[in-house]
Amino acid sequence: MIELCKNTDPNAKGWRPTRRPELDVLGHTRITLQNHVERLEEIKQDYVSQLEEKKRYYEQLKEQIKELDDGSLFASKVDGFQL
């Protein structure tokens, strides 16, 4: 690619059927872009899975705290507070 760029006449007109370079190179970059999108989707799915796992873990902790909490900690703080 570098050699091709070096050996090409800088004044030569490029082949651009749509006259929009970003669209004309899409055929060459499509596979790379598609692979990139697929990789991003895999990363997203990994993060979503991790998030769901952490949510389940915190819900379990929350339930354990509710089971262990008899209200005495809050009550003792309220009893010690005077108006």
The reported pTM is 0.51
Q: Which of 13-17, 47-51, 72-76, 77-81 has the lowest mean pLDDT?
A: 77-81
C-beta neighbour count of 8 within 10 angstroms: 10
Give Cβ neighbours of residue 16 (< 8 Å, ≥ 6 apart): 24
In this prediction, residue 44 carries a pLDDT of 98
pLDDT band at 22 (very low <50, low <70, confident <90, very high): confident
Q: Which percentage of the chain shows pLDDT scores above 90?
A: 36
In this prediction, residue 58 carries a pLDDT of 97
